């Protein structure tokens, strides 16, 4: 462990009082309902914490009106209009002042209705976010069922609104087949139980969570070499982001439907209002039909048109996987 003597100066910056490497400050945004995203973030942070020359500040987000876990049927559905329209809830006061100077920001988030979860959106729309993130390199870490591509497009817009520079994106998804996760994930979210009968457990598997440590090792080494200043990816070659572009078209259909129905439901009243319930019931029937038709239909059409679509899908995959990419050439360096 490096022995570095540091002290905060009047602006909250950490000043290095030795000839060793400067202590770098890392801001981590934290919100997780089941604890899954926290476990992943902790794996990523472990190498930075162990290195001893990083000051890691974890800012836990607390919505003023907390979201329940497990969700009730209506509270779950009631979250979709605001998620789709990215109408953020109020947060309890942050512990940050806005004048802290971080070298790197790690932004783990979960996806809610094909958009960044509302508490994380609330942070990015918070007046302090621009001050904290402007000009800073940001690493996003997504953990969700498996539909995250359009959420990340929205995340990029939120980040650029704050003047932040996205340098890496890590994505962890539920390893089970898409159609199974459409049963196991809602079951988990509505009951808190991961196992339904003999089906594979919902959520991200323990092995993938443990292996997320490789990203922390690469970030530690990158930061020690000032790589964050080049505003380039530090997590390339580590299979950080593997996209399945065939789901993109289902996500587009879902996003459009969430947006239009969300507008209608929001016109009936704000979150938790009585008048939204009948509309939410109609919508859920429509949604089930949409999922049962659009997802398999779009996958079938794409499979039969694969030879024609191959080039387009490959280009789409490469674009979506930016900036970290799905290459595996450095896996041997960081997986022991
Ligand atoms: C309201 C809600 C909507 C969700 N929508 C999506 C989604 O659109 N795509 C997806 O892949 N996962 C979706 N998920 C799963 C979450 O991204 C996440 O994996 C899960 O909620 C666990 O996160 P946690 O760490 O907060 O417990 C949704 C979860 C919730 C609670």
Please tell me the distance from the alpha carbon of residue 291 to that of residue 115, in angstroms, as a whole number.
17
Residue 69: pLDDT band with limits 50, 70, 90: very high
User: Mapping DSSP to helix (H, G, I), strand (E, B) and coil, where does residue 138 land?
Assistant: strand
Please tell me the distance from the alpha carbon of residue 13 to that of residue 24, in angstroms, as a whole number.
10
pTM of the model as a whole: 0.92
Q: What is the mean pLDDT of the chain?
A: 91
Pick the atom of ligand 1 nearest to 189's CA: 31
What pLDDT, on a 0 to 100 scale, did the predictor assign at position 10? Answer: 35
Domain membership of residue 287 (yes or no) is no
> Which positions ≥6 away from 263 have C-beta within 8 Å?
81, 85
What are 198's two structure tokens?
A: 């003999």
Ligand 1 contact, 77 CB (< 6 A) = no
Q: What share of the chain is helix, strand, coil (3-state, %, to 5)?
A: 50, 15, 35
Q: 83 CA to middle of ligand 1, Å?
A: 11
Q: Where are the beta strands (DSSP E) in 9-122?
A: 14-16, 24-30, 54-60, 104-109, 111-112, 115-116
The DSSP element (H or E) to which 140 belongs, if any, is strand 137-144
* 145-198 pLDDT tens trace: 999 999 999 999 999 999 999 999 999 999 999 889 999 999 999 999 999 999
Please tell me the distance from the alpha carbon of residue 105 to that of residue 238, in angstroms, as a whole number.
19
pLDDT above 70 (res 327): yes
* 195-254 pLDDT tens trace: 999 999 999 999 999 999 999 999 999 999 999 999 899 999 999 999 999 889 889 988
- CATH code assigned at 221: 3.40.50.360
Domain membership of residue 238 (yes or no) is yes
Residue 103 vs residues 134, 143, 242, 286: alpha-carbon distances, Å:
11, 23, 27, 46
Domain membership of residue 134 (yes or no) is yes
Range of the domain at 84: 6-244+321-334
Percent of the chain with pLDDT over 90: 81
Neighbours of 102 (CB within 10 A): 22
> Which positions ≥6 away from 166 have C-beta within 8 Å?
138, 140, 155, 156, 159, 323
Ligand 1 contact, 257 CB (< 6 A) = no
Q: 176 CA to middle of ligand 1, Å?
A: 15
Give the number of domains in the chain.
1
What is the 3-class SS of 112-124, one letter each residue? ECCEECHHHHHHH
User: Mapping DSSP to helix (H, G, I), strand (E, B) and coil, where does residue 15 land?
Assistant: strand
Please tell me the distance from the alpha carbon of residue 211 to that of residue 199, in angstroms, as a whole number.
23
Domain membership of residue 171 (yes or no) is yes
Residue 23: pLDDT band with limits 50, 70, 90: very high
Domain membership of residue 237 (yes or no) is yes
Domain membership of residue 277 (yes or no) is no
Please tell me the distance from the alpha carbon of residue 5 to that of residue 7, in angstroms, as a whole number.
7
Domain membership of residue 185 (yes or no) is yes
DSSP string covering 168-202, please? Answer: EEEEEE--S-HHHHHHHHHHHHHHS-S--TTSPPS
Ligand 1 contact, 88 CB (< 6 A) = no
Q: Which residue has the higher pLDDT, 302 or 109?
A: 109
Please tell me the distance from the alpha carbon of residue 185 to that of residue 290, in angstroms, as a whole number.
17
Q: 109 CA to middle of ligand 1, Å?
A: 9
Ligand 1 contact, 115 CB (< 6 A) = no
Pick the atom of ligand 1 nearest to 113's CA: 8
Domain membership of residue 99 (yes or no) is yes
What pLDDT, on a 0 to 100 scale, did the predictor assign at position 21? Answer: 63
Pocket test for ligand 1, best of 60, 67, 112 (most atoms within 8 A of CB): 112
Output DSSP code: residue 5: -
């Amino acid at each position: 462990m490096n022995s570095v003597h540091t002290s905060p100066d009047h602006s909250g910056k950490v000043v290095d009082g030795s000839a060793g490497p400067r202590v770098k400050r890392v801001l981590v945004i934290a919100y997780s309902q089941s604890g899954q995203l926290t476990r992943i973030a902790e794996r990523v942070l472990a190498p930075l914490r162990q290195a001893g020359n990083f000051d890691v500040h974890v800012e836990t987000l607390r919505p003023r009106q907390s979201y329940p876990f497990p969700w009730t049927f209506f509270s779950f559905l009631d979250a979709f209009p605001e998620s789709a329209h990215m109408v953020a809830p109020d947060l309890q006061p942050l512990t940050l002042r806005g004048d802290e100077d971080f070298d790197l920001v790690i932004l783990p988030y979960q996806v809610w209705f094909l958009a960044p979860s509302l508490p994380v959106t609330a942070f990015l729309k918070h007046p302090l976010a621009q001050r904290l993130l402007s000009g800073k390199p940001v690493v996003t870490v997504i953990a969700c069922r498996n539909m995250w591509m359009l959420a990340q497009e929205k995340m990029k817009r939120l980040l650029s609104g704050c003047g932040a520079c996205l340098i890496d994106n890590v994505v962890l998804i539920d390893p089970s087949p898409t159609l199974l996760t459409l049963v196991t994930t809602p079951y988990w979210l509505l009951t808190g139980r991961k196992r339904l009968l003999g089906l594979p457990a919902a959520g991200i598997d323990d092995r993938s969570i443990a292996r997320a440590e490789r990203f922390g090792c690469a970030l530690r080494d990158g930061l020690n070499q000032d790589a964050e200043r080049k505003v380039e990816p530090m997590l390339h070659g580590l299979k950080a982001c593997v996209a399945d572009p065939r789901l993109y078209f289902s996500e587009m259909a879902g996003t459009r439907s969430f947006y239009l129905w969300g507008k209608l439901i929001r016109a009936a009243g704000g979150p938790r209002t009585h008048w939204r319930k009948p509309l939410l019931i109609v919508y859920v029937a429509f949604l089930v039909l949409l999922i049962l038709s659009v997802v398999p239909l779009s996958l079938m059409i794409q499979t039969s048109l694969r030879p024609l679509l191959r080039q387009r899908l490959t280009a789409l995959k490469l674009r979506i996987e930016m900036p970290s990419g799905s290459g595996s050439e450095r896996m041997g360096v960081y997986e022991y």
